[in-house]
Structure 1
Amino acid sequence: MIQRLLAPVLLILSFLLPAGHVWAAGDSQYKLGSGDVIRINVFGEEDLSFDQIRMTDAGTFSYPFLGEVRALGKTVAELENIITRGLKGDYLIDPRVSVSIIEYRDFFVNGEVKNPGGYPFKPGLTLRKAVALAGGLTERASESKMSVIREVGRDKQTFKATMDTPIQPGDIITIEQSFF
């Protein structure tokens, strides 16, 4: 119901905003990676719009006319520009492309938690919330020996964490055992 009421407003705004503008998510500096699910909308072009595209392990996806598109490490705005440039000219005169993130890649919790494994990421996640999703700490868990492995560019960085550390998609959390 709300979507139906907002549709005319969004249509008008799409003509007023620059081509490729993304609502909310596009202004983020979040870098896309393997496992992310995105939505691509090309205004007025149903054959070029997709509700769900999951990134491959290499951080790519197949797209009509453009072939294999490399999205790994790109922001939503950068990906919009790649698709817009690829479609402009030979295929469309003035493509209006929007990309949004539908589902972030999983994060992982291992070590001294009751249910180690992968869990779906949600914005605003902290280590405390991640531990809660993993069933809580075991009796042997150390609250002072927690670490996060995070991809930064092409490298992986390991850093010490607290319960208030923000978690990002793809992070690997390790809760060590306490000896006392």
Structure 2
Amino acid sequence: MKPSMFFHVLIGLLFFKSPLILAQGSSQYRLSSGDVIRIDVVGEQDLSFNDLRLTDAGSFTYPFIGDLNAQGKTAAQIEQLIADKLRGDYLVDPRVSVSVPRYRQFFISGEVRSPGVYPYQAGLTLRRAVALAGGLTKRGSESRMTIGRDQGSVTQTHKGSFDSPLLPGNAVTIARGVF
């Protein structure tokens, strides 16, 4: 990467909190049902896993430990939980790394050509989500779009625009235009 390009990317990362930053392994991203995690334990291939999909309850099964609840936890919290449970009985000083190679899907419904469930992509905006769903129908409103986000046991809905960032698990609804 050219130095000038590196500088622009660095400035963007420092000053703009995009969904890309929030979703890619940051300490703020909360795991939920449908996320796929990767667990690496240094020097222990039998305890490392590439593609563990969280169950509908947001949990997964891990050797020697059993079921672990990841719902609402960060990757760092899962790292610590696994390391604590492996320490002593199984390993002296386990070094655990947890990452999220694939995020849960997002949903889009209403006045789009192909409503449905789509894989989340880092940096996703409402404009890109509508494009993935085939664009607006003739009746689709560019000003009546809502985004539903799960906040624990409550779903918060707010008005969206084409530039609104989306996160994994969001539910987008495009309403009919008022004529």
- The TM-score, its normalising length taken from structure 2, stands at 0.85
Paired residue for 1:43? 42
- Deviating 4+ runs (over 4 angstroms): none
Paired residue for 2:119? 120
State the shift of 1:26 in Å: 3.9
1:107-162: per-residue Cα shift (whole Å, max 9, x none)? 00000000000000011111001000000001100111110111012211011111
CA distance in 2, matches of 1:144, 1:179: 10
CA distance in 2, matches of 1:36, 1:58: 11
CA distance in 2, matches of 1:89, 1:25: 31
CA distance in 2, matches of 1:61, 1:144: 40
Report the AA paired with residue 142 of structure 2.
Answer: E
Paired residue for 2:56? 57
Paired residue for 2:75? 76
Report the AA paired with residue 152 of structure 1.
Answer: Q
CA distance in 1, matches of 2:173, 2:92: 50
Q: Secondary structure at the match of 1:27?
A: coil
1:37-62: per-residue Cα shift (whole Å, max 9, x none)? 01101011111000110000000000
Aligned length in residues: 157
Paired residue for 1:9? none
CA distance in 1, matches of 2:160, 2:41: 41
Q: Can you give the 5+ residue segments of structure 2 that lack an aligned partner in the other structure?
A: 1-22
Instruction: Among all aligned residue pairs of Structure 1 and Structure 2, give the percentage whose two residues are the same amino acid.
Output: 58
Q: Secondary structure at the match of 1:149?
A: strand
* Preserved contact between residue 25 and residue 76 of structure 1 (Cα < 8 Å): no
RMSD: 1.2
State the shift of 1:87 in Å: 0.4
Paired residue for 2:135? 136
1:72-128: per-residue Cα shift (whole Å, max 9, x none)? 001111110011101011110000100110100000000000000000001111100
State the shift of 1:25 in Å: 4.2
State the shift of 1:66 in Å: 1.1
CA distance in 2, matches of 1:161, 1:53: 32
